Amino acid sequence: MSTPVDALSHGGREQPQQPGQLSEGLHNVLDRVRVEADGLTAAVGARTVTASSPPALTGHLATALYQIVHVGRPETESGTGTGTGTGRVSAPQSRDLEERLAQAVPHRYTTHDVPVLAAREGGPIVELSGVRVRLDSDRLVRISADARRADVRVSASRPMLSPGFFLADGSLPLPPESQVLRVYLHVETPDAAVETWGRVLHCLEENAVAYRAKAASSSSALPRRDGVVVYLNGLNHAVLASLVEAVKGIVSPGSVPSPFTQPLAAGVAVAWEPDDARPGMRHTSLGEHRCRALASGLVGHAIHPDGRTRAERVRDAFLEGGIDPSAPHRNVSSPISL
């Protein structure tokens, strides 16, 4: 019997299936959520959130769904019921794991191929991630024969880029135009987080794969289904089998995955980066994007009944966001099915 990892190792299916009804996992989530008809109060299991208006409730409910349904935090935990729904780790938190995570990164630099804007004594001015940067000459690896492009080294570790997480880029940077596949690793303890992080990065470096990765930098944020997250170019999905093997026995063995992801093995799941060009939805995280669509459908059903069932309203909200409701780890535009 083939597994999701087997399918990915052979390229997956050529054509994605037609999006249909809600997945079983989403139906199970609907059973846990209640929204009052006034659109001012909602509950996810034992956690209640309130707001002064239905639009505000949509944001607060999305935050609760993110924390409970996606990340896997307890319903009874003190949550940010009046939060913004950004999907970030709540502040303030210590960064007590940061030093250990930094020590586990197996490489110091990421090499970028960038356009040269001007030659200057002591180092060129280049465009890096859309920003004009003057680099010291010791960061210059190679310059093209026509002096228009250069390979430059930048620090691989980016501890302040994603609040609540320690982030690192691979020796080979993730191409900006790639369709990104997220890999979620469920870790329960600080030691498991650090060991998983180290094993994941070594595996990806040994396979010469372009990637970005992040890990929760605070012990108090654990356990989390997204304690370690890897961002891969979807074309490099063949490495997933090696990645699963590398973390076997360390990630949470009995974990229940987020309903927005596709499980590959115990404690390992994947999902495609959101593809939603609507205003305010660009550059949202997977959990934020899916939870916002779910909350929008549920609140809309409560305050504007139109004959559609809750499941139908959520299905339509997912389709509006470019999400396959029958397989919410996928976008309608995703290149392969898992």
Asked, as a colleague might, if the bond just before 223 is cis with ω within 30 of 0, I would say yes
**Angular region, 130: left φ>0, alpha ψ -120 to 50, beta rest:** left
To the nearest 10°, report the CA torsion of 188, 191, 197, 202. Answer: -140
Q: What is the 3-state secondary structure (H, E, C) of 56-118?
A: HHHHHHHHHHHHHHHHCCCCCCCCCCCCCCCCCCCCCCCCCCHHHHHHHCCCCEEEEEEEEEE
The closest alpha carbon to 87, from 74, 69, 105, belongs to 69
**121-to-15, 41, 115, 117 alpha-carbon distances in Å:** 53, 62, 17, 13
Say what the pLDDT of residue 337 is.
Answer: 56
Phi, psi of 316 (to 5 degrees): -65, -35
For residue range 243-278, what is the model confidence (pLDDT) as tens digits? 999 999 999 887 789 999 999 999 999 999 999 988
Reply yes or no on whether the pLDDT at 158 is more than 70.
yes
Reply yes or no on whether the pLDDT at 11 is more than 50.
no
Q: Which residues pair with 206 in a beta bridge?
A: none
Say what the pLDDT of residue 124 is.
Answer: 80
Q: Which residues pair with 269 in a beta bridge?
A: 184, 263
Q: How confident is the model at residue 178 (pLDDT cuts 50, 70, 90)?
A: confident
Of residues 128 and 242, more confidence is placed in: 242
| pLDDT over 90, % of the chain | 64
The closest alpha carbon to 247, from 302, 295, 196, belongs to 196
Q: How confident is the model at residue 160 (pLDDT cuts 50, 70, 90)?
A: confident
Please state, in angstroms and rounded to a whole number, the distance separating the CA atoms of residues 110 and 168. 9
User: Angle at which helices 310-320 and 286-303 pack, to 10 degrees?
Assistant: 140
Say what the pLDDT of residue 34 is.
Answer: 98
> Of 32-36, 115-119, 152-156, 333-337, which has the strongest mean pLDDT?
32-36
**What six digits make up the tokens of 165?**
């997480």
Say what the pLDDT of residue 103 is.
Answer: 97
**Domain segments of the chain: what residues?**
4-87+276-320, 109-155
Say what the pLDDT of residue 182 is.
Answer: 97
Q: How confident is the model at residue 144 (pLDDT cuts 50, 70, 90)?
A: confident
Asked, as a colleague might, if the bond just before 257 is cis with ω within 30 of 0, I would say no
**220-to-83, 85, 197, 229, 247 alpha-carbon distances in Å:** 19, 20, 17, 17, 22
Q: How confident is the model at residue 89 (pLDDT cuts 50, 70, 90)?
A: very low
Say what the pLDDT of residue 198 is.
Answer: 98
Reply yes or no on whether the pLDDT at 86 is more than 80.
no
Q: Which residues pair with 169 in a beta bridge?
A: 212
Reply yes or no on whether the pLDDT at 71 is more than 80.
yes
- Mention every residue, 6+ apart, whose C-beta is less than 8 A from residue 268: 183, 184, 185, 186, 243, 244, 247, 251
Average pLDDT over every residue of 144-149: 83
**What six digits make up the tokens of 18?**
């037609």
Q: Which residues pair with 127 in a beta bridge?
A: 132
- Mention every residue, 6+ apart, whose C-beta is less than 8 A from residue 328: 23, 25, 26, 259, 260, 271, 290, 318
For residue range 181-238, what is the model confidence (pLDDT) as tens digits? 999 999 999 999 999 999 999 999 999 999 999 999 999 999 999 999 999 999 999 9
Reply yes or no on whether the pLDDT at 69 is more than 50.
yes
